[in-house]
Amino acid sequence: MIKLIKPYNLKIIVFVIFTLSGNISPMFAQTAVVSGIVEDAGSGEKLIGAGIYNDDKTHGTVSNNYGFFSLTVPAGLTTLHFSYLGYKETVVTANLQKDTSFHIKLVPSLLLEEVTISSDYLLKNIHSSQTGLIELPVKSLITLPYIMGESDLLKAIQLMPGIQSGGEASSGIYVRGGSPDQNLFLLDGVPVYNVNHLFGFVSVFNTSAIRNVSVLKGGFPARYGGRLSSVIDIRMKEGNNKEFHGEGSIGVVASKISLEGPIIKDKTSFIVSARRSYLDVLAQPVVKAIDDFATVRYYLYDANAKINHQVNKNNRIFLSLYLGDDVGFYRYNDKYIYDEIKYTRQDKTGIQWGNITTALRWNSIISNRLFANTTLTCSRYRFKLYDTDKKTTEPARPSINSRYSWTYLSGVTDYSVKSEFDYAPSPGHYIRFGGSYTYHDFNPGTNEYHYQGADYADMVDKQFGTASITASEISFYIEDDFDLAERLKVNAGAHASSFFVRSEKYYSLQPRISARYLFAKNLSVKGSVANMVQYIHLLTNSSVSLPTDLWLPATDQVKPENSWQYSASVAFPVKNTLVVTTEVFYKTLNNIIEYQDGQTYLNSNADWETIVETGKGWSYGLEWLIEKREGKTTGWLGYTLAWSNRQFTAINKGEVFPFKYDRRHDISLAIIHKLSEKLDIGLVWVFGSGTALTLPAQKFISALPLFNPQESTYYWEHSVNQEIEYIKSRNSFRMPSYHRLDLSFNFHKPLKWGERTLSLGLYNAYSRNNPFYIYIGQNYDWYGMGSGEPVVKKVSLFPVIPFISYNFRF
Amino acid sequence: MNWQSFILSVLFVMTACEKIIDYPVSPGELNVVVNSILNTDSTISVNISKSVGILDTSSAPYIHNASVNLYENNEPAGSMKYQGNGFYALDGFVPEAGIEYAVAVNAPGKDNIRASCMIPEPVPIISADTILRLIDNDVYYKSYTYDVILTVRDPPGLSNFYEIILFQKTLYTYPDTVYSIYSRRFCTDDPVFEYYRINNDVYPLALNLDTEMLNASAVYFSDKLLDGKKFTVKFSLEQWNINGMYYIYLRSLTKDYYLYLASLAYYNQASGNPFSERVQLHSNISNGLGIFGGYSSAADSFYVGMQ
């Protein structure tokens, strides 16, 4: 049996504020609305997804993204249970004759105390109508092992069934056969376009600043739109509004610091987090030793900041900011004197990319039944490549003096306003509705070229590439989560959107429905159908996540992407401590784009719309997840069996081919075990059968006629060098399978001023040579020795890598 | 160091190991390869070879015992005879523009290989003019080059695909023998060009930024932006040893030959980059591989004699 009611704790701090609304509608005369906020008693952080249940569990809800809840229950003596994973359950009994407000403060529990499944978890996973939802336990994720010890949200998400990485140590995620652009990353409700630092090895989300993460793989409610494959909703911490606290870490890749505290106690709080890598600083002496004139730098940084202010009991405002960049450059400064002339050359080549997102948000509890959230947001992604060269002489030799620069810029900027409402009009109904307007400004890639030769005269000044494209996107949604019968709960709604670009107008009405049938108290079967439309494309021609990937709008020539996804799931608890979820899905993707064979973003002579192909894809599979969220040992085991295909008219001769990340079997095991208050260990083991791969099967003589000017005609000349690889079909081979074990040991020690944690670990503990890529090469070793015959070579990136990091909090 | 090198350097530093693996690459059924580029100035010839497995240590072999028949506007034109090195020819047969030629090949183990093409009519050169241009105005010296302006009118209503070749012919005597030296280098930054040939490789003409860097022996482009228009393209002659007689050829290519060269350009560009999608070479050979294409030519010449 599931234990939902836990022993009362007299020390629980419960603030119950009874508020008379004075406006009870006659049609609900036999009911009362209980509403309010659920928050952490220690920090004042609002708790997202806290469960609220009446005694016999006939009525229940969860708090929204701002800790607000509204529940209509029968009037009279009612006992309400408030629960949240990792917190002690609070029980409130009240004689409800009127609409009533509660301000609930939950107290964190000691991990060792709790061994059963909390009711909020059952609410969200078994009793809710939502399919395809994963909520990540952010606090415990930090103790899992990560490459270089750098805790990474996206790498934790990759361990869930239905989600896989783009490659060794990559933060790119591929959800149910979708591509990375089909994931909507929301950081405090603001879309983030490029989520990668360090070419995908580190994600942009600093775990120190994150409070809550939920991942939706299917069954999308109507409130979400704009992407086909997933919604990753990341909520930043709000900042402790009672006490000043901080935390930080010193790691191999980067160090970070996070500070939070009240500006006005219980009213206004802030949190600031920052992170920077320092490999460049450590490497620079080596670079200087090799070449005194050269400087090579690569670093990443990001910062999160948030202020929230409680205007009054019913109104709060937030201002949040994220900014981050990756900066890499090679600089060469050379000076010498020859024949009494001083020659100077300054050469710099670099790459830089990053995001800035900001959000100004206003929460308002308009009534016990109605909650409003209005947000102004801005999101900017920018990618820049540049090369500069300047030659000077002193005294001047005009023919030498010259200056040139080339800059390639691409990116996208969004400005958006959004209003959302949560409305609980009657028992058994929870309505959400809202609308948004977004102004997009796409820069698909412009080149600026300046050249001043011969004493900086003879100027060439060119700008070319695709001109920027602006577009407007408007969307509205409405959804109702309601009880259709005693055991049948339905979430039905629609997302309507329109997109205006150039002279083209696109409209869509996307129906969404999901339903849950409760076969037994804790055994549910769910099903969902969701239609999604995406007006933004990502154009990529590489198998790794590179910042060169271009964000582009749907245009009159390149239609919006759309998908249908059908999914069904069964969820039930096992032995009071585990929850087992099995889910099947079928997804279609239409109007997806790819470069024509061989085309790249650098082909600036062609408009991007003329070098892409439009096609379709489909994927289907089964996902199985067993989770344990509470107790000494927590973690999960996931398994995915899936197929994913693509078809384009002008690619692969129009024939169907497997998606690059089509992987038949995927297994992930993540375990965190708390041995004592001073030591916990983390373990991750992953296995994946090989992803699809294109290899040549044959080679043949190409026609490369050489021009003979003497006869003004061609002649033939053939040699081994003119043999061409024959690609029979794209992605027709498979990479070898991938598996890896990671371990971490976290030693905690309380100090006078706080706590420190020393983490030691191993990435790829048994040093498996996993394939990063394989190719046809020649049998030569590093020294050029060998037979030279053609062979298949496998390149592996990481053997066993130990890591250490020092974390502290106060 | 460009940024690609930078990325590869980072990866290289992190690379733990590279090793040979026992990985089965089944070649499947081997293909017969038919290659022929027809032109209106020389005898037709077809090269027949066979593909081999990618891990095969031997080179792709020529086929010497194939049956190769040529058709002209669907009428038999003759059986081609083996010449050696995989070449088959029909003595004295020079193709003409505007006529459809087809070849039918039966090779051991593989029959009914067919391909056809029609050489387009040549597009005449209206003019090839030269303009003297000062490029270096040093206090110590001044230097000049010549720009070549080629003017052409694209035929309306047709899809045309062009190749331009520009070369210099000079004579050199040593000690008593006269040699012809052909220099095939010029510079251009004209955005109409899509592909270029340097040495014996073809590449996409992407990010053509530094006019001094791009030296080509041929350039390729289509008329998709020029259909029916009179247009000019510009080249700069290489400065070194600039004086001499120059020849310029404007070739009109069959569409399949152009697409083949384009795919070859992308193939070369992607070659060696493990993260790029592999490129499948364009082929118009039914039941086989290769290219059966052609071209016709228009030519002009001019003399440069800088003082």
What are the residue ranges spanned by the domains of chain A?
26-113, 134-694+803-809
pLDDT given at position A645: 96
pLDDT in the model for residue A139: 77
pLDDT for res A252: 80
Residues of B in contact with A717 (CB under 8 A): 200
Sign of the Cα pseudo-torsion (A128, A133, A138, A141, in order): positive
pLDDT digits (tens, 9 = 90+) for A53-92: 887 777 788 888 888 988 888 888 888 888 888 888 888 8
| Candidates A447, A707, A769, partner chain B, best to mutate (most B CBs within 10 A) | A707
Q: What is the pLDDT of residue A218?
A: 92
Q: Which of B6, B54, B270 sits opposite A697 (nearest CB)?
A: B54
Q: What's the pLDDT at A4? A: 32
Nearest to A713 among B16, B17, B41 (CB): B41
Which residue does chain B place closest to A396, by CA atoms?
B139
Supply the mean pLDDT for chain A.
Answer: 84
pLDDT at B1: 43
On the question of pLDDT at A375 being above 90, the answer is yes
Alpha-carbon distance B276 to nearest alpha carbon in chain A (angstroms): 5
B54 touching A (Cβ < 8 Å) = yes
Are A531 and A220 in contact by the 8 Å Cβ rule? The answer is: no
**Residue A294: which pLDDT band, with cuts at 50, 70 and 90?**
confident
Confidence of residue A546 (pLDDT cuts 50, 70, 90): low
A74 touches B: beta carbon within 8 Å: no
Q: Is 50 exceeded by the pLDDT of residue A653? A: yes
Give pLDDT, residue A98.
81
Say if A279 is an interface residue toward chain B (CB within 8 Å). no
CB proximity A780 to B under 8 Å: no
Interface contact A366, partner B, CB < 8 A: no
Token duo for residue B145: 């080059």
Report the C-alpha gap between B127 and A492 in whole angstroms: 71
SS3 A697: coil
The per-residue pLDDT for A713 is 47
Model confidence over A781-797: pLDDT tens digits? 777 788 888 999 988 88
β-partners of residue A124 are: none
Q: What share of chain A is helix, strand, coil (3-state, %, to 5)?
A: 5, 60, 35
Please state which CATH class domain B22-119 belongs to.
Answer: mainly beta
Per-residue confidence (pLDDT) for residue A8, from 0 to 100: 36
Q: Residue A709 and residue B182: Cβ atoms within 8 Å?
A: yes
Of the pLDDT bands very low, low, confident and very high (cuts 50, 70, 90), residue A671 is: very high
Residue spans of the domains in chain B: they are: 22-119, 125-255+296-304
Q: Which of A199, A702, A710 sits opposite B7 (nearest CB)?
A: A199
Restricting to A residues 728-767, those with a Cβ less than 8 Å away from any Cβ of B are: 728, 730, 733, 736
| Cα separations in angstroms, A148 against A151, A196, A328, A668 | 9, 16, 20, 20
Q: What is the per-residue pLDDT for A457?
A: 56
Of A455, A605, A705, the CB nearest to B191: A605
The reply to whether B125-255+296-304 shares the fold of B22-119 is yes
Q: How far apart are CA B68 and CA A395, in angstroms?
A: 71
The string of pLDDT tens digits covering residues A748-763 is 999 988 999 999 999 9
Nearest partner of A702 among B33, B268, B254, B248, judged by Cα: B33
What are the b/e assignments for B205-238, b being 16+ CB within 10 Å? bbbbbbeeebebbbbbbbbeebeeeeeebebbbb
**Sign of the CA dihedral A784, A786, A787, A790?**
negative
Decide which of A84 and A262 is more confident.
Answer: A262
DSSP designation for A285:
H
Q: How far apart are CA B26 and CA A734, in angstroms?
A: 12
CATH class for the domain made up of B125-255+296-304: mainly beta
Domains A26-113 and A134-694+803-809 share a fold: no
**pLDDT(A1) > 80:** no
Residues of chain A neighbouring B19 (CB-CB closer than 8 A):
769, 793-794, 796
Judging by DSSP bridges, how do beta strands A268-277 and A294-312 pair with one another? antiparallel
pLDDT of the residue at A23: 37
Query: What token pair was written down for A230?
Result: 């997933």
Name which of A257-266, A606-615, A766-775 the model is least confident about. Answer: A606-615
Q: Is the dihedral of CA A432, A433, A437, A443 positive or negative?
A: positive
Q: Which CATH number fits domain A134-694+803-809: 3.40.50.300, 2.40.170.20, 1.10.10.10, 3.20.20.70?
A: 2.40.170.20
C-alpha dist (Å) from residue A748 to A114, A150, A298, A679, A759: 20, 17, 33, 6, 9
In tens, the pLDDT along A208-248 reads: 888 889 999 999 999 999 999 999 999 988 899 889 999 99
- Chain B CA closest to residue A447: B207
Query: Band of the pLDDT at A176, cuts 50, 70, 90?
Result: very high
For testing the chain A interface, which of B50, B145, B184, B209 should be mutated: the one with the most A CBs within 10 Å? B209
Q: Which residues pair with A413 in a beta bridge?
A: A380, A441
For residues A450-475, average pLDDT: 75
Size of interface A-B (CB pairs under 8 A): 256
Say yes or no: A714 contacts chain B, CB-CB below 8 A.
yes
Q: Are A597 and B281 in contact (CB under 8 A)?
A: no
Cβ separation of A776 and B54 shorter than 8 Å? yes
Measured CA to CA, the distance from residue A612 to residue A558 in angstroms comes to 9
Contact present, A531 and A498 (Cβ < 8 Å):
no
- pLDDT reading at A601 higher than 70: no
A543 contact residues in B (CB cutoff 8 A)? 275, 277
The CA-based diameter of chain B, rounded to the nearest angstrom, is 72
CA A97 – CA B273 distance, rounded (Å): 72
Identify the bridge partners of residue A743 per DSSP, sorted by sequence position.
Answer: A683, A762
How far out from the chain centre does Cα B163 lie?
A: 8
Q: Which of A583-587, A658-662, B128-132 has the highest mean pLDDT?
A: A583-587
Residues 6 or more apart in contact with residue A502 via CB below 8 angstroms: A469, A555, A556
Chain A (184-223) residues lying within 8 Å, Cβ to Cβ, of chain B: 199
The chain B residue lying nearest A597, using CA atoms, is: B279
What's the per-residue H, E or C state across chain B?
CCHHHHHHHHHHHHCCEEEEECCCCCCCCCCEEEEEEEECCCCCEEEEEECEECCCCCCCCECCCCEEEEEECCEEEEECEEEECCEEECCCCCCCCCCEEEEEEEECCEEEEEEEEECCCCCCEEEEEEEEEEEEECCCCEEEEEEEEEEEECCCCCCCEEEEEEEEEEEEECCCCEEEEEECCEECCCCCCCEEEECCEEEECCCCCCCCCCEECEEEEECCCCCCCEEEEEEEECCCCCCEEEEEEEEEECHHHHHHHHHHHHHHHHCCCCCECCCCCCCCCECCEEEEEEEEEEEEEEEECCC
Give the mean pLDDT of A363-368.
Answer: 91
Q: Out of B6, B28, B278, whose CB is closest to A351?
A: B6
Note whether A463 contacts B: Cβ–Cβ < 8 A.
no
- Per cent of chain A over pLDDT 90 is 42
CB count in 10 Å sphere of residue B185: 14
Q: Which of A299, A323, A306 minimizes the C-alpha distance to A194?
A: A323
Separation of first and last alpha carbons in chain B:
40
The winner for highest mean pLDDT among A83-92, A137-146, B81-90, B270-279 is B81-90
**pLDDT digits 0-9 by tens, B110-154:** 889 999 999 999 999 999 988 887 776 666 667 778 888 999 999
- CATH homologous superfamily, domain A26-113: Carboxypeptidase-like, regulatory domain (2.60.40.1120)
Whether A238 contacts A269, CB under 8 Å: yes
pLDDT in tens, A154-166: 888 999 999 988 7
Please answer yes or no on whether B208 and A595 come within 8 Å at the CB atom: no
DSSP letter (8 states) at residue A313: T
- The interface predicted TM-score (ipTM) is 0.88
User: Where residue B107 falls among pLDDT bands split at 50, 70, 90?
Assistant: very high
Highest mean pLDDT among A700-714, B7-21, B37-51: B37-51
Phi (first) and psi of residue A178, to 5 degrees: -90, 165
**Long-range contact list for B173-182, CB < 8 A, 24+ apart?**
B180/A710, B182/A709, B182/A710
Give the tokens for residue B301: 């010449």
| Residues of chain B numbered 7-46 and touching chain A (CB < 8 Å) | 7, 10-11, 14-23, 25-28, 30-31, 33, 35-37, 39, 41-42, 45
Question: What's the CA dihedral at B110, B111, B112, B117 to 10 degrees?
Answer: 60
Pick the most confident of A33-47, A50-64, A272-286, A500-514.
A500-514
- A469 vs A58: which has the higher pLDDT: A469
Tell me whether residues B6 and A776 touch, CB distance under 8 A: no
Instruction: Pick A560 or A85 by higher pLDDT.
Output: A560
| Tokens 């050979």 belong to residue | B285
First to last CA, chain A: 40
d(CA A526, CA A139): 29
If one compares B237 and B250, the residue with the highest pLDDT of the two is B250
Bridge partner residues of A506 (DSSP): A499
